[in-house]
Amino acid sequence: MGFFEKLKAGLRKTKNSFIGGIAKVLNKFTKIDEELFEELEETLIMCDIGATTSVKICEILRKRVKENGIKEPEKIMDMLKEVIEEMLGEPQSLDMSTTPSVILVIGVNGVGKTTTIGKLSYQLKNEGKKVLVAAADTFRAAAIDQLQVWTDRAGVDIIKHKEGSDPAAVVFDALTAAKARKADVVICDTAGRLHNKKNLMDELKKISRIVHTQAEGCSLEVLLALDATTGQNAVNQAKQFNEVADITGIILTKLDGTAKGGIVISITDDLKVPVKLVTVGEKIEDIQPFDTHDFVNALFE
């Protein structure tokens, strides 16, 4: 099964909830009026698009319906597809323009951060890149061991210290090793805690300083891993992390296990941060760059 087919299958729950809900609204009406738009807005909010984005989508639809003199409710579906694709914008890939390139992966515990790092390492290795992983989540018990299991599966090297060590020291050693071993990419796991924003902010700033000192001029991606199954809670997490880190992209995990895939639209519109990677499935190869066109087509087909 190709990744588009996996994505399509994975989005089935979202499609049934999202497209199914909208189709029900449109089929109820014989003409386009304000009541239709109110119900449409409510349906979008219920599908985890978020209130602000749902209002914006309906405003754009009202305007286009008027401009194009559209009378038939069913024609709104095609317009909605266009609006969502415009909101998501063009696909944005990871910046891997330097050697080494550095990727910091952040996110709360339980979102699939460790698994995702394993999958990403495997994908990059298969693209011919030499990958080094820094086990800089030294705070959580067993985090280092779990990461070791995934790097073994991916067939990439790991740099680790003891549990409770200084995360920035792990990143320092990983970057030093990356230079010596001529690694193309360094992926850094980080502690997944948000309850103390100051500690997290200080830690991320320290790691960022180490990266810029040790690998001056290197490309740095700060990727926030979010669990799609948590819906609007994931958007709230993204907002909080955005306050303490310069996030360059989102990794959306567990997209295949949820009816809440609409949060992709909410995240992109609300935070102006692109979704760069998605995971659909449990296997090590089940990660792909996020393609907005594929996502929209899988949702609306």
**Beta carbons within 8 Å of 268's beta carbon, 6+ residues apart:** 87, 88, 89, 274, 275
How many residues appear in the chain? 301
Query: For residue 39, is pLDDT > 90?
Result: yes
Residues 220-239, buried b or exposed e (16+ Cβ, 10 A)?
Answer: bbbbbbbbbbbbbebbebbe
211-257 tens-digit pLDDT: 888 888 899 999 999 988 888 888 888 888 888 788 999 999 888 77
Residue 80: per-residue pLDDT: 96
Residue 144: per-residue pLDDT: 93
Start-end of H helices in the chain:
3-10, 12-28, 34-46, 51-68, 76-88, 113-126, 143-154, 167-181, 197-214, 232-244, 263-271, 292-300
Averaged confidence pLDDT in the chain: 89
CA distance 102 to 110: 23
User: What one-letter code names the amino acid at 281?
Assistant: G
For the beta carbon of residue 19, count every other beta carbon within 10 angstroms: 18
Output DSSP code: residue 70.
Answer: -
CA distance 134 to 170: 6
In the chain, where does the domain assigned CATH 1.20.120.140 lie? Answer: 3-88
- pLDDT mean over 17-36: 92
119-153 tens-digit pLDDT: 999 999 999 999 999 999 988 878 999 999 999 99
Does domain 3-88 fall under CATH 1.20.120.140? My reply is yes
Report the chain's terminal Cα–Cα distance, integer Å. 17
- pLDDT mean over 19-47: 93
Whether omega before 289 lies within 30 degrees of 0, making that bond cis, reads: no
pTM above 0.85, yes or no: yes
CA distance 199 to 244: 10
CA distance 246 to 222: 7
In the chain, where does the domain assigned CATH 3.40.50.300 lie? Answer: 101-300
CA distance 38 to 154: 49
CA distance 120 to 122: 5
Which class in CATH covers the domain with range 101-300? alpha beta
Is the Cβ–Cβ distance between 140 and 114 less than 8 Å?
no
Query: For residue 7, is pLDDT > 90?
Result: no
CA distance 137 to 144: 7
- Rg of the chain taking only CA atoms, in angstroms: 21
